Amino acid sequence: MSRTAKLHRQTRETDVRVELDLDGLGDADLSTGVGFFDHMLELLAKHASIDLRVKAEGDLHVDDHHTVEDVGIVFGHALAKALGDKSGIRRYGAMTLPMDETLVTAAVDLGGRYAFEWRCPMPSAKVGQFDSELIEHFWQSVAVNAAANLHVVLHHGRNTHHVAEGAFKAIARALRDAVEPDPRLTGPASTKGVL
């Protein structure tokens, strides 16, 4: 059974196409016009072991906000679509990940309800030209549109690039566990019988 999705969203601010394969090898083909964001998405694909293609054109003459937000929206919808009725997936995933001096924990529940806790402050407002506050906004957009619980906690870290990278890698590894098929499950991982 194919666990893939291909979605397109166009507004007056952005034009975003996302393709993903949850059973991929971590291949990424990314073009958002935002270099640091492409770097983070590449980490997401690699560490979640999903194949990910993102083509985004946005109003970058304004700033990166709409592009980053709308990629999050479309990625969240694509994740939900690729999961289908979620039968047989582990549902939960968590990872505490070191990135040099940084330590980040991420936990995810793909149970069909939205909750978002972000306790991962960025040490500085910018990474190069990228607004570091957009990292939180991207993941909130993903969680809302995937109907997922996502909790991210920074235990310690001083370098903003490392904190951002640690967060993306930790969330990716948590997602990898959560979307994995559990051979002992014959339906949804819920006593309700549905996710």
Domain positions in the chain: 4-179
Matching CATH number, 4-179, of 3.40.50.1820, 3.40.50.2000, 3.30.230.40, 3.40.640.10? 3.30.230.40
Token pair, residue 69, equals 């937000």
The pLDDT score that the predictor gives to residue 176 is 98
Question: Full-prediction pTM beyond 0.85?
Answer: yes
Q: Is the pLDDT of residue 173 over 80?
A: yes
Q: Is the pLDDT of residue 68 over 80?
A: yes
Question: Strand locations in 43-157, DSSP E?
Answer: 51-58, 92-99, 102-109, 115-119, 126-127, 130-131, 149-156
Q: What is the identity of the amino acid at 175?
A: L
Q: Give the pLDDT band (50/70/90) at residue 193.
A: confident
